[in-house]
């Protein structure tokens, strides 16, 4: 396993573990809010925090999903192509994914920094939320890195890790 593969593996697994923690927190908060509503004691700002956690949960799974190729692949047309053509199409898709999501991550970092510098806070709880934006940006950066590792692997002629 190359250094890039190991780094990719650690990043993907680390984010999956973090995503699991975020998901547990999201479920606990949502369940607690529902239970407390029965007693007329809803948690103020629960929807806000649940939204932030939901974004982190989703972003945390991106790199791992790309690594395992667990995303939806529409191959109605390409299943008829020879394996060599499919490899070229797959490599091209990885280039597009790496480039596009690198730009997404970069722009989210720019936005997160801008929100942080402006002192903008969430509407209900008045808490800073730029760390959530930067967390989602990190998830997109890991997705881009995973696609880049796939490209390097294909150029080197190695199989999937």
pLDDT of 83-124, one tens digit each? 888 888 888 999 999 999 999 999 999 999 999 999 999 999
Determine the average pLDDT of the residues in 136-158.
Answer: 92
Query: Residue 49's closest CA among 18, 25, 32, 15?
Result: 25
Do residues 158 and 13 make contact, with C-beta atoms less than 8 angstroms apart?
Answer: no
Compute the mean pLDDT over every residue in the chain, rounded to the nearest whole number.
Answer: 92
For residue 128, what is the DSSP state? Answer: B
Give the pLDDT confidence score for residue 161 in this predicted structure.
Answer: 54
Q: Which range has highest mean pLDDT (44-48, 96-100, 157-161)?
A: 96-100
pLDDT at 42 over 70: yes
Q: 86 or 146, which is more confident?
A: 146
Radius of gyration of the chain (CA): 19
pLDDT at 2 over 90: no
Kindly state the tokens that stand for 6.
């190991």
pLDDT at 160 over 90: no
Question: CA-CA distance, 120 to 138, in Å (whole number)?
Answer: 20
pLDDT band at 159 (very low <50, low <70, confident <90, very high): low
pLDDT at 52 over 70: yes
3-state secondary structure 48-74: HHHHHHHHHHHHHHHHHHHHHCCCCCC
Least confident of 14-18, 81-85, 125-129, 137-141: 81-85
Q: Which residues contact 71 (CB under 8 A, 6 or more apart)?
A: 65
For residue 81, what is the DSSP state? Answer: S
Give the pLDDT confidence score for residue 87 in this predicted structure.
Answer: 83
pLDDT at 150 over 60: yes
Determine the average pLDDT of the residues in 140-145.
Answer: 97
Kindly state the tokens that stand for 131.
């760390």
Phi, then psi, of 23 in degrees rounded to 5: -65, -45
């Amino acid at each position: 396993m190359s250094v890039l593969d190991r780094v990719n593996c650690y990043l993907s697994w680390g984010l999956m573990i973090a995503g699991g923690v975020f998901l547990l927190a999201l479920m606990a908060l949502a369940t607690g809010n529902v239970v407390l509503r029965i007693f007329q004691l809803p948690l103020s700002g629960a929807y806000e925090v649940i939204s932030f956690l939901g974004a982190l949960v989703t972003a945390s799974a991106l790199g791992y999903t790309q690594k395992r190729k667990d995303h939806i692949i529409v191959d109605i047309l390409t299943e008829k192509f020879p394996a060599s053509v499919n490899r070229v199409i797959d490599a091209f898709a990885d280039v597009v994914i790496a480039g596009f999501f690198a730009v997404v991550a970069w722009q989210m970092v720019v936005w997160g920094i801008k929100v942080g510098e402006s002192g903008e806070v969430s509407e209900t709880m008045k808490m800073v939320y730029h760390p959530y934006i930067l967390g989602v940006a990190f998830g997109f950066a890991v997705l881009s890195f995973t696609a880049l590792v796939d490209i390097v692997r294909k150029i080197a002629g190695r199989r999937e890790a």
